């Protein structure tokens, strides 16, 4: 994805959501919202996460430089929950790498385990810029603090470029960990003969699904490519759940239906929102949105259309969000809320028969919230928005309220 701290030239490879690829009906008027400032004392906030179970009211925020901060009862604690800033790629600005994902184990209250997605430096190696790592840590039952000695690397992927890292982490209703990974960076996915996104022997340009309750991890029995081969006879990677992505930026599960949504940052022309299905091919690098991108690539007949797309004449880079299931704003219930990096916030409504309508959400009070980097969902289904000031890196968390 395109990060908030990328230079303007790089932003030409991202996008904004405004059009639906399916037939439009006449939707209801969107509900107006407000943004309530929770804190503006963060640096490059990338991730919002909460503990499972609904009892704790703590909010955990990842800072790209490598720190996890806690907001407790509306107050930002001065000391970090975890600080791995010395273990991630040094970020001097205009960079997509860093601490990019956080998810708590469904049994966190019992086992104290949580997982992070980070970009780790590697020795100078041809063809490798950094290493994307999924790490497990454990909180001590005695102290309530993270024990750094418990760190284990669950999964690692050598990344040839500093861009298109993906980086979210989410546990699904099935208890498995879902991991979106970008295509390896650079323009047009020029990796190998067909690009990483279409190459089932590569983990890049995919959404993965693994079982973290095994060592180092297990493969769910119904993963679609377990035991399969690619078209040219190579073993397919069994971790793959879905493929054909450039840079899947922010995934989320609808807490009511279990549906998996993903924002997908485009190349030069289109951004998209996808409804993720097991084993599905979402088209990159053959297509960007619903449009042919590389005419020399053979187009299989199984490509899945996005549920919404928009052109780069209307924005820069999609920020995937959540289906609203809170109680504070009844008019938003069941609608997928997302944004563009440049600021607009949108709702996407399923009108039936695969028709999704998109409308801009009016923000009742201008707050000057900078660039939208991520969304979060708390224990009660209420939504939050993480923003960053491009030049300073100063970050804020806002709660979406009536």
Active site residues: 164
Query: With helix as H, strand as E and coil as C, how does the chain read?
Result: CCCCCCCHHHHCCCCCCCECCCCCCCCCCCCCEEEEEEEEEEECEEEEECCCCCCCCCEEEEECCCEEEEEECCEECCCCCEECCCCCCCCCCCCCCCEEEEEECCCHHHHCEEEEEEEECCCCECCECEEEEEEEEEECCCCCCEEEEEEEEEEEEEECCCCCCCCCCEECCCCCEEEEECCCCCCCCCCCCCCHHHCCCCCCCEEEEEECCCCCCECCCCCCCCCCECCCCCECCCCEEEECCCCEEEEEECCCCCCEEEEECCCCCEEEEEEECCCCECCCCCEECCEECCCCCCCCCCECCCCEEEECCCCCCEEEEEECCCCCCHHHCCCEEEEECCCCEEEEEEEECCEEEEEECCECCCCCCCEEEEEEECCCCCEEEEEECCCCCEEEEEEEEC
- Interior CA angle at 119 toward 198 and 147, to 5°? 130
Rounded Cα–Cα distance for residues 329 and 349 (Å): 15
Distance CA 259, CA 256 (A): 8
What's the rounded Cα separation, in Å, for the pair 246 and 192?
15
Q: How far, in Å, CA of 139 to CA of 156, rounded?
A: 22
User: CA 117 from chain center: how many Å?
Assistant: 11
What's the Cα-to-Cα distance from 40 to each of 63, 95, 100, 386, rounded to whole Å? 12, 21, 19, 10
Other C-beta atoms closer than 10 Å to the C-beta of 151 total 16
């Amino acid at each position: 994805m395109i990060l908030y701290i990328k230079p303007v030239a790089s932003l030409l490879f991202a996008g904004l959501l405004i059009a639906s690829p399916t037939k439009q009906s006449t939707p209801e008027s969107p509900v107006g919202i407000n943004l309530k400032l929770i804190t503006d004392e963060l640096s490059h906030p990338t991730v919002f996460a909460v503990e499972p179970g609904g009892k704790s009211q703590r909010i955990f925020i990842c800072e790209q430089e490598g720190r996890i901060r806690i907001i407790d009862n509306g107050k930002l604690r001065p000391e970090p929950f975890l600080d791995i800033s010395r273990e991630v790629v040094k970020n001097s600005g205009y960079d997509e790498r860093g601490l990019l994902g956080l998810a708590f184990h469904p049994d966190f209250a019992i086992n104290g385990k949580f997982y992070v997605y980070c970009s780790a430096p590697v020795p100078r190696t041809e063809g490798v810029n950094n290493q994307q790592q999924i790490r497990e840590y454990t909180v001590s039952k005695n102290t309530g603090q993270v024990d750094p000695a418990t760190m284990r690397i669950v999964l690692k992927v050598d990344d040839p470029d500093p861009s298109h890292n993906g980086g979210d982490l989410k546990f699904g209703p099935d208890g498995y960990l879902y991991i979106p990974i970008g295509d390896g960076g650079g323009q047009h996915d020029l990796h190998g003969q067909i690009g990483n996104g279409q190459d089932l022997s590569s983990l890049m340009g995919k959404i993965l699904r693994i079982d973290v309750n095994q060592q180092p991890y297990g493969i769910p029995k119904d993963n679609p490519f377990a035991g399969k081969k690619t078209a040219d006879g190579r073993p397919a990677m069994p971790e793959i759940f879905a493929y054909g992505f450039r840079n899947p930026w922010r995934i989320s599960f609808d807490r009511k239906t279990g549906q998996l949504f993903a924002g997908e940052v485009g190349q030069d022309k289109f951004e998209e929102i996808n409804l993720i299905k097991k084993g599905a091919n979402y088209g990159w690098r053959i297509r960007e949105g619903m449009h042919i991108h590389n005419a020399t690539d053979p187009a299989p007949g199984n490509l899945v259309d996005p549920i919404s797309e928009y052109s780069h004449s209307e924005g820069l880079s999609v920020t995937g969000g959540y289906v609203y299931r809170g109680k504070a704003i009844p008019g938003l219930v069941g609608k997928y809320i997302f944004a563009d990096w440049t600021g607009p916030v949108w709702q996407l409504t399923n009108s039936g028969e695969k028709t999704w309508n998109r409308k801009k959400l009016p923000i009742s009070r201008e707050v000057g919230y900078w660039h939208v980097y991520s969304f979060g969902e708390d224990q009660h289904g209420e939504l939050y928005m993480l923003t960053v000031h491009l030049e300073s890196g100063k970050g804020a968390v806002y709660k979406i309220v009536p």
